[in-house]
Amino acid sequence: MTWLSDAVVGRLREVATWPELTSDRYEIRRPVGRGGMGTVYAAYDTVLEREVAIKVSNALVPDDGLEERLRLEARVLARLEHPGIVPVHDAGVLDDGRLYYVMKLVHGETLAARAPALTTEADRLAVFLRIAETVAFAHDSGVVHRDLQPANIMVGRFGEVLVLDWGVARLVDLIESPGIRVGTPGFMAPELQRGDSATAEPAADIFALGALLNWILGDAAVPRRLRAIANKCAQPDPRDRYSNAADLVADLSRYRAGLPVSAHRDTLAERAALWFTKYQTLVFLIAAYLLMRALFAFFQRTP
């Protein structure tokens, strides 16, 4: 009997499910990731002479659930043209019946891997804001992601932030949406945990964004106003959260600009501190002017 080394066994496990593309436009190079729904391969587009990624369904048998999710993901990505969402170039069916779609190949790492390198609050907020802006765009386009979590966020080599894994997204203009169990523990809204995924509203994403904000900020001392923003997102009752991601983005932008935020009622002292922080240059200039006037008056009166 043929003897197979560990290396050959490993290679056979890999190549046995490599996509068989009918066209010779794309040359499959290597697998770059595998999820429950599909496997992503790095490939080379011989027509446009560029690297691309091809996501192929894992269903070797007709599996309505998996195929529907992959098809949905391709359509959602195609609908959402945004810098924070991977563009889709092509889609089709392999010889063996599996669905696939071609997209931009992203070089980078997941947010879970990148997070330790984000050492300042400003860095973390900058990344989070990009995520929230992308989700806000999706909500505005009628799409609810339903599974936002650190492993589904990719941070590129040049700081670009991409929201991935739209396979369980819900198109809110569809009457029927797949009512599958979706979400990740720790990031899943209570209504999704109760099994209401088929009617998930943007509020479910807001909850996940709040969990993500708390996660990315970590245990470090966080300003009360910023923590209040995260807590408002993570309210158990969807009606107590931001109504959509755009409102969250607006509040975060106000926080970064040193303005009052809707999630937190400032005390008089906090307002004064905010006002002072915002106008500190002017305050210093006026104080310096008044001090000079006082000194001038003092020395004039002195004989």
Partner 1 sequence: MAVQGRSRDRAKGVLSLSPPDRLSPMVAYPCAFMRFPVTRRSVLERIREADVDERRAAFGDLATAYWRPSYHYLRLHWRLSPETAEDVVQAFFTTAFEKGYVEKYDPAKAKFRTFLRTCLDRFIQNTRQAESAIKRGGEATLLSLDFPGAEHELAAYPALVVDDADRFFHDETIRALFARTVDAMRDAFTREGKPQVFDVFARHDLHPSADATYATVAADLRLTTGQVTNCLHAARRRFRELALASLRDVVATDDEYRAEARELFGVEVSPERSRGV
Site string for partner 1, 21-50 (x = CB under 8 A): ---x---------x----x-----------
Q: Tell me the residue type at 125.
A: L
59 near partner 1, rule: CB under 8 A: yes
Q: Does 299 bind partner 1 (CB under 8 A)?
A: no
For residues 18 and 35, give the distance between their C-alpha atoms in angstroms, rounded to a whole number. 15
Given the residues 45, 90, 123, 147, the one annotated as active site: 147
Characterize the bridge pairing of strands 143-144 and 108-110. unpaired
Relative to beta strand 161-163, strand 170-171 is: unpaired
Residue with tokens 């043929």, as numbered in its chain? 2
49 or 237: CB nearest partner 1: 49
Contact flag: residue 63 with partner 1 (CB under 8 A): yes
Q: Which of 66, 86, 168, 249 binds partner 1 (CB under 8 A)?
A: 66
List all residues 6 or more positions away from 158 whose beta carbon is below 8 Å from its beta carbon: none
Pick 7 or 257: Cβ nearer partner 1: 7
Q: Of 2-10, 229-237, 239-247, 267-275, which part binds partner 1 (CB under 8 A)?
A: 2-10
b/e code 39-50 from CB counts within 10 Å (16+ = b): bbbbbebeeeee
Q: Which is nearer to partner 1, 4 or 287 (CB)?
A: 4
Q: How far apart are CA 147 and CA 169, in angstroms?
A: 8
The site for partner 1, by CB under 8 A, has a size of 30
Stretch 102-131 residues interacting with partner 1 (CB under 8 A): none
Least spacing, CB of residue 130 vs partner 1, in Å: 31
Beta pairing partners, 57: 38
When binding is defined by CB under 8 A, the residue of 48, 50, 83, 96 that contacts partner 1 is 96
In angstroms, what is the minimal distance from the CB of 27 to partner 1?
Answer: 8
Is residue 266 part of the annotated active site? The answer reads no
Token pair listed for 130: 């990009």
Helices 202-217/245-256 angle, 10° precision: 30
Q: Does 151 bind partner 1 (CB under 8 A)?
A: no
Which of 83, 87, 97, 186 lies at the binding interface for partner 1 (CB under 8 A)?
97
- The full DSSP string for 163-203 is E---TT-EETT-S---------TTT--HHHHTT-GGG--HH
Type of residue numbered 115: A
End-to-end CA distance of the chain: 115
Binding segment (CB under 8 A) for partner 1, from list 1-9, 122-130, 179-187, 244-252:
1-9
When binding is defined by CB under 8 A, the residue of 46, 48, 50, 60 that contacts partner 1 is 60
Q: Taking CB under 8 A as the rule, does residue 218 contact partner 1?
A: no
Task: State in angstroms the smallest separation of the CB of 55 from partner 1.
Answer: 13
Residues 6 or more apart whose CB falls under 8 angstroms from that of 279 comprise: none
Please report whether residue 5 would count as binding partner 1 according to CB under 8 A: yes
Any bridge partners for residue 104, and if so which?
52
Q: Which one among 30, 49, 62, 122 touches partner 1, defined by CB under 8 A?
A: 62
The residues that touch partner 1, with contacts defined as CB under 8 A, are: 1-6, 8-9, 11-13, 15-18, 20, 24, 34, 39, 58-63, 66, 95-98
The set of catalytic residues is 147
